[in-house]
Amino acid sequence: MDLTVISIVLAGAGLAVVIALYLRSERARAESAAHLAQFNQLADKLADAQSGLEGRVQQSQTQVNERLDGLMKRLGDGLSQQTEKTGETLKVLHERLAVIDAAQKNITDLSQQVVGLQDILSNKQTRGSFGEVQLNDLVSAALPPNAYQTQHTLSNGKRVDCLLHLPNPPGPISIDAKFPLDSYNTLVTAEDKTAKVNASRQFSTDVLKHVKDIEAKYIVPGETAESALMFLPSEAVYAELHANFRNVVEESFRRRVWIVSPTTLMATLNTVRAVLKDARMREQAGVIQTEVQKLLEDVGRLDQRVEKLQGHFDLTAKDIRDIRISTDKVIKRGEKIETVQLGDDTPAEDLPSADNVERFPGSR
């Protein structure tokens, strides 16, 4: 449409030029005819140019429309693909939201369990039961039932959480569970240096009290081993103790009370199991040695009896040889008898008498 306007403007401008020329050339009418002819030619050319321009404008309009149609089609296809991809993305997002919801539920359940565990550990009695249960689980998982006894009462009337039945040496070993959680939490949550020093002192005092109690109650000369184990059911407490309270650990060594955590207790129980296995093998080796000694005695008696049986066999062989000699003599005598020819016409005087028979060679 803009090209048409331009054409009209150009045509108007050309017409204005012609009119101006016409007004200025009144004196040259002769030349006006020539100019008029040129003007007519120019008008024809302008008409032709305008016609060609309109064709080009129409062609350009058609191309623009085609391009617009192609663009709209591509936009429609793109929107369709984008809509499909958006649907797939929303589906994946929905699945991930479902997974997040499940994880959130698990976190909620875990939080409730943690709260329940905190409630359990906040009470000293339930905290002690928690340590005893964990101790029992570890021992029962590592050792056979006849290798230990829980809640065993010693001769001094004290009841230990677990007693390991080991051969001498070292003998039965006592294990008692202790959980100084209150003083540990105070130590961890201490905000200033003074509070931390006081909490450290209290934590050290509590652990040493447990060590002294175990030494006094669960190490009985002549009944248990010369040492005992104090079980801390928390790796964090155990790590804090060995990292920052070396004096407490050394004091426990001097009192022959070995402090163990769940991990180190499991390693200790594996060593105990190896000791029990070795003791069992030595016991079985003694039994085997005794049985071998008895077997050698039985073999000696068997040899004597075989020797006696060999003597009987020798006598039997001699008797058999004598029997064979007698049998050979009987066979020879029978053969001699068969050589005697007896007939009906044999004179009586030719018959052998009893005396002659007795005088046969070899007769007895």
Distances (CA, A) of 267 to 73, 219, 308: 74, 22, 61
Q: What 3-state DSSP class applies to 224?
A: coil
Q: Of 1-15, 58-72, 208-222, where does the model show the most confidence? A: 208-222
**pLDDT for the residue numbered 64:** 79
Residue 153: give the domain boundaries. Answer: 129-281
**pLDDT for the residue numbered 312:** 81
Residue 359 is assigned to a structural domain of this protein: no
Residue 196 is assigned to a structural domain of this protein: yes
Q: Taking the chain, what is the end-to-end CA distance rounded to the nearest angstrom?
A: 171
**b (16+ CB within 10 A) / e for 201-213:** ebbbebbbebbee
Taking Cα atoms as reference points, which of 277, 238, 287 lies closest to residue 144? Answer: 277
Residue 58 is assigned to a structural domain of this protein: no
Residue 323 is assigned to a structural domain of this protein: no
Residue 288 is assigned to a structural domain of this protein: no
Dump pLDDT digits (tens) for 305-330: 888 888 888 888 888 888 888 888 88
Q: What 3-state DSSP class applies to 49?
A: helix
Joined together, the tokens standing for residue 115 give 């709260």
Phi/psi region, residue 157 (left: phi>0; alpha: psi -120 to 50; beta: rest), is left
The DSSP secondary-structure symbol of 123 reads: S
Based on the structure, what is the number of domains in the chain?
A: 1
- CB neighbour class for 296 (10 Å; exposed up to 12, middle 13-18, buried from 19): exposed
Contact 266, 138 (CB under 8 A): yes
Give the residues across from 228 on adjacent strands: 174, 257
Q: What is the mean pLDDT of the chain?
A: 78
Out of 267-276, 288-297, 320-329, 332-341, pick the least confident: 332-341
Q: Provide the CATH number for the domain around residue 134.
A: 3.40.1350
Residue 70 is assigned to a structural domain of this protein: no
Dump pLDDT digits (tens) for 61-74: 788 788 888 888 88
Residue 38 is assigned to a structural domain of this protein: no
Residue 259 is assigned to a structural domain of this protein: yes
